[in-house]
Amino acid sequence: MPSYAAPLNHINFVLDEVLGYSQHCQANGSTMLDTTTKGAILEGIASFAEEQLYPLNASGDTQGCSWNDGAVQTPKGYQQAYQQFMTDGWPGLSAPVAQGGQGLPESLGVVITEILGSANPAWYMYTGLTKGATLALEAHGSTELKEHYLPRMYSGQWSGTMCLTEPHCGSDLGLLKTRASLRPDGRYAISGTKIFISAGEHDLTSNIVHLVLARADAAPSGTQGLTLFLVPKWLTDEQGQLRERNAVHCSSIEHKMGMNGSSTCVMNFDGAQGYLVGELNQGLRCMFTMMNHARLTTAMQGLCMGEMAYQTAAAYAKDRLQMRSLKGPQFPELPADPILVHPDVRRMLLTMKALNLGNRALAYYTALQMDVAESSPDPSKQKAASEQLAILTPICKAFITETGIEVTSLGVQVLGGHGYIKEWGQEQLMRDCRIASIYEGTTGIQALDLLGRKVLASQGSLLSGLKQMLQTQIAETQQIPTLATHANRQARLVEAWQTIAQTIALRARDNADEIGAASVDYLMLSGYILHGHFWLKMMRSALAEPTDAPLQQSILHTGEFFFQRLLLRADMHLATLQADATTLMSPLTEHF
């Protein structure tokens, strides 16, 4: 039967050996987080995830959430796990000390996201959304709002949401109709309906703090007229005691393909009391503070569920007996060989493992750039990190979730018929993972953001720092005989990465659809090139250790598999990008 064990060996390898995490923390103000402290924190959260969250994963999926007269009940055991999570002090780990937190870096929170999200992704949704809401409030809220709400949200006593989507619009936020009318007391009356609101209503916390995009009176149309408001479920007194119910209610919850333990709500705001966050008509800028964090958290879901799928598939492949090896019996004492001896099973498992490890390194590196952008004492490093984040965030969100879907699908395939039934949990992982490439901006939207708004709009300047990092790594690795061939291939791809962007820009002068036609292939190409970069780093780190160390051997073997079998996908995306938009846009509407 399946089980989850936090892959602390791989996590620590990427953090310590590949990314130099201790030095990173020292350079960015987290002097208290040494290797020993970090190890103790990760072991503690791993125990919580393995012992309390993972056992609720399958039962939470089967039971799901229930709605009754506006109230939502989470699956059995969720409340107790949340109370333990709060009692242990985990919600405030990376919160500012001034607000009652422990002041540890955001990057450590991303690592913890992997462990919690792998054990129970639906349960983790309730805590992950609160983190994004606190970031937006910290950055844009008034002193009064921050002092009243943030300590209670950082402690886990209150939770948070982000309310964007409405029935008539999804990602096109310029169509939002929710209204905000100024009241005589300086507060606002918020009226409208929001849909697909994760954790909009539940029974885990005493209060829920909604961050709502709405259009104030006389605001301009489109996204320029959007403002961000804080709308609590319960109005409270100055001491934070619940006073009266605000005019916001959950009218229903969605019946979904997966993530059944996470409530997805339709929220009605009927003149609810709201508080201005930031400035009028600057809501989208304020919301992006939490949206960018949400996108990286969503990206992690691809890794989380991919990790769990791999662990189950690898354990099954070692135990399941079926047929003999093509070379003859490998375990003659058994009636058949374990399916791990078969090349195609190994192909699937190595694909899962290589994508998971590459995604982990990519996500963790991106999280480190969040630290630098926020905390580095060097303004030039802050600027460089912010520019890298502009490129890395859409790549992480789309590439890691798309490959996460592939990995969970392979997890079903490795188990064959047993993967298709609930007993082994693989079909749940595949269902749960499918939403990750959709919410917080679909793959197509992330790709347009990357290619159109970031690469082409900056005329390639935003790519320069990232490209320089890749080229430095290539030059160093070309001096290592066992890795030189891989480094040379990577060098060719990095040059083609820039060249193809220039080609698309030239085509787009005559036809703007060229950007949309090329964007997803360009994003996926970018993801594989970044995987190539991190696989070179991981293999170099492994070579620096004793070659008989099992972990290092595993890294080297998996890296060889990546370069010989998976990096070829980058060439496919490059070839596709040579085609223009004609084949996509020439068919008439009636042809569909």
Catalytic residue ranges: 440
Measured from the Cβ of residue 103, the count of other Cβ atoms closer than 10 Å reads 16
Helix ranges (DSSP H) in 120-209:
121-140, 143-154
Instruction: Provide the terminal-to-terminal Cα distance of the chain, rounded to the nearest Å.
Output: 45
In this structure, the dihedral spanned by the alpha carbons of residues 301, 375, 159 and 150, taken in order and rounded to 10 degrees, is 180
Euclidean distance between CA atoms 500 and 522, whole angstroms: 9
Separation between Cα atoms, residue 7 and residue 302, nearest integer Å: 15
H-helix or E-strand spanning residue 265: strand 264-277
Residue 253's nearest CA partner among 58, 122, 114 is: 122
Token pair, residue 479, equals 């001096």
Instruction: Report the Cα 93 to chain-centroid distance in Å.
Output: 19
How would DSSP label each residue in 445-480? HHHHIIIIIIIITTTTHHHHHHHHHHHHHHHHHTTS
- Residue whose C-alpha is closest to residue 353's, from 288, 321, 308: 308
> How far is residue 514's CA from residue 248's CA, in Å, rounded to a whole number?
44
The answer to whether the Cα torsion of 491, 492, 495, 500 is positive or negative is negative
Provide the pairing of β-strand 158-163 with 71-73.
unpaired
CA torsion through residues 459, 462, 464, 470, sign: negative
Q: How far apart are CA 559 and CA 566, in angstroms?
A: 10
Residue in 415, 445, 427 with CA at minimum distance from that of residue 298: 445
Could you give the residue ranges of the DSSP H alpha helices within 230-342?
A: 283-319
SS3 of 212, please? Answer: strand
What residues contact residue 13 under an 8 Å CB cut-off, 6+ apart? 538, 541, 551, 555
Whose structure tokens read 């992330």?
Answer: 446
Are residues 564 and 500 in contact, defined by beta-carbon separation less than 8 angstroms?
Answer: no
- Residue count (the chain): 592
